[in-house]
Amino acid sequence: MSNRRIWVAGATAAVLTVGLLAPSGSSIAAPPDTAKPAAGPAVKVAAGETALVRFRLPDEAMLRDLVASGADVAARPRTTLGQVQVDLVVTDQELAALTARGAVATQLIQTASEGSARVMASKEAAGARAALAANTDTLQFLQSYWWTSEGQSFLAVQVATTATADPDVEITVTWKTADGTTGSFPLSRFEDSGEYQYHVALPQPVPAQPVTVTANSSLGGTTRAIRPTAWPGAVPPPNPAGYQKDFIAAYMTPTDIQARVKRLGRQYKSLVDVIDLPNKTQGYRRTASAYLGDPATAAIVVDSVKFGDQKMNGVQVKTVDPGKKNKPLKTTYKDRVLTVSLATDSTGAVISTTDQVAAFIDAGYPQVFNAFVEDGSAGKVMPIAGPARLDDGLDGTEVSKKPWTVQALRIGKVRDGSKIGVMAYSQEHAREWATPLVTLEFAERLLANYATDAETRSLLDNVDIFVIPMVNPDGANYAFNDYNFQRKNLVNHCTGAQRDPRFANSWGVDINRNYTVGSYFDGYVGGSANCTSGTYSGTSELSEAESGNVIALARAHANIKFAMNVHSYGGYFMWPPGAYKADGRITLPRPSIEESAYFMDSAKRIIGAIRSSRGTVTWPSYTGPVADVLYSAAGNSADQLYYELGILAWDFEVGNDLWNAETQEWEGVGFQPPYDEAHAESQEYASGLVELVRVARDMQADGAIQP
């Protein structure tokens, strides 16, 4: 949750009192002499006197300035017709200064009593105490959890300070175990979009369960001692003897996944429907292109309009010197060879420039070729070059180039919409190879154990389960065959020079930035209009077949009330809101208190199930709304499912950091870890998905939600 400083009314005036300010150091000092006092009622304060006066301020900016500078605000401000009414304790000189700044004194409420010196001394002492208190911050634990994994205990905390604007505040946490052992570690300030959030550190190893923790700041703030809570505090029911799992033997390409989906449909006909999603993807295809000339000196790029596999791979292009004087520029395209005969002058010298040749090709063959000038070659004489062969640059010779039909598995005994629905989908991002291993392991466990395990049978009898193992097959094919860090799909919306083949690994649309709620197109942070950006949002919301398929499945089955988007890596467990606007870090609307609690309670159950596999624990600081624990992801799928369709939507980031006991450091695993690690991720997060189905079944059984 954002800790952006906003006005909060205090219970008493003492909350904001910082003592009476001497005129020379007053925070409401007069502006330069050019300022003119505003007209208003004749409210007067005698020289040397202090009074409680009601003012009408011209705007809220002035109020914020007064509060920030320590003015004595005596009552809750009220805004009427764009003006702010506020009661302030002021001296006569402060009254004059405020009037000069445009404030209008509307009522003299009370003057300071002419009490004894004892009363004045008491007020001065109170002011001094308040001034001292203003220099001391207040600290609060936002999180304090501990857990044990593979024999090592860890402590994770978040602490917030009221000194939000001070970037130099240092906070130290001290822990104590039951045997009296103590230790401490520093926290780091965390800001997001320019807004202070809290101080935090990576989970810290401790020798045993900590029984108390305290925090202290460099400003003198301190917390009371608290007892850390066990995390996540939930344990799934044990699997019975003979429970079948471990159905994943290797990383799986899109072709492998497609074959597995078809096999499951054949093998478990009474429990599975295979659904063809409505939008075919582009396929593992790109246009074919070639450099004509030398990119280091002078060249153009010739690009096919059709895809390379549509008889454009291997097309040749060349420039020739006609060998005669005063010849015009002309082109011919015959037998899959584009020949450009360059123009010459009266001496027979070639005079055609790169710009002229590119424009001539475009104009002459708009249905066949695009041509543009290579960066740095504009205006140069076009060289005699070629023949160059156009090629789509794809290395996957065994991969089908046809448009791809993305498929979903529908699993359950009753698949007519009368049971509550759960959707799990993975590999929106092509390079996340471990994610379809999770969803397929999950599907296979449910199907293989239905006949022998009563708990699995209860789940499939009462829940309608939808699984899309591979949202982005084209990008995945590219990641396996051409560029393993490919994140996006293969649709190239770039134009002009950005279609240069040297940008080939940067083309495509980020599927998880292409949805409709909280999108880049609505001004939210985390997407991009740059077609070569890793978070390119596309030409419009839902411009891509892949994102359209996810939403089409959800819209077609109104009983889907839960969804899990499986990503990698980092070990996060998240839910909406997933995006904010930068100015003020304004997120999409927060879930209600009750719904937020349900998100967290369910997360703890699912994290407990993940932990049951090999002890991996998703950190508390990585559990929560996307916008808070990761970053703003404009136009992500979970936000559209939640805000538009009313689906309780979560996100996994599988692949938790691993603790290295030798180096005493947390180490990342990456998008394509060694297979043994990917296999372990498939097993633990499949257990998490099974627990999500339990969560859905239990909610339906409680009557809290209906299909």
Question: What is the per-residue burial (b if ≥16 Cβ within 10 Å, else e) of 578-596?
Answer: bbbbeeebbbbeebeeeee
Q: Which residues contact 569 (CB under 8 A, 6 or more apart)?
A: 432, 434, 653, 654, 655, 668, 669, 670, 671, 673
- CB proximity list for 389: less than 8 A, separation 6 or greater: 290, 314, 315, 316
Distance CA(404)–CA(282), nearest Å, equals 7
Residue from 58, 83, 63 nearest 16 by CA: 63
Q: What is the bridge-based pairing of β-strands 229-230 and 139-149?
A: parallel
Phi, psi of 69 (to 5 degrees): -90, 0
- Give the list of residues 6+ apart from residue 54 with CB closer than 8 angstroms, or none: 85, 86, 87, 105, 106, 107, 109
**Nearest 5 degrees, angle CA 649-CA 651-CA 657?**
160
User: What phi, psi does 510 have (nearest 5°)?
Assistant: -75, 110
Chain mean position to CA 592? 21
- Quote the Cα angle for 685-691-696, to 5°: 130
Strand order in the sheet with 316-320: 330-334, 337-341, 316-320, 388-389
CB 63 within 8 A of CB 86: yes
Of the candidates 601, 596, 574, 594, which has an alpha carbon nearest to the alpha carbon of residue 234?
A: 601
Provide φ and ψ at 617, rounded to 5°.
Answer: -125, 125
Amino acid residing at 441: E
Q: Tell me the C-alpha distance between 134 and 323, whole Å.
A: 88
Question: Count of H helices and E strands in the chain?
Answer: 13, 31
Catalytic annotation present for 653: yes
Amino acid, single-letter form, for residue 334: K
- How many CA atoms within 13 Å lie on the side-chain side of 186? 7
Query: Annotated catalytic residue: which of 94, 444, 544, 653?
Result: 653
Rounded CA gap, 693 and 312, in Å?
Answer: 48
Paired tokens of 80: 């009427």
Extract the tokens encoding 50. 């202090």
Q: Is the bond preceding 333 in cis, omega lying within 30 degrees of 0?
A: no
CA distance 323 to 516: 58
**Do residues 278 and 549 touch, judged by C-beta distance below 8 A?**
yes
User: Which residues does the annotation mark as catalytic?
Assistant: 653
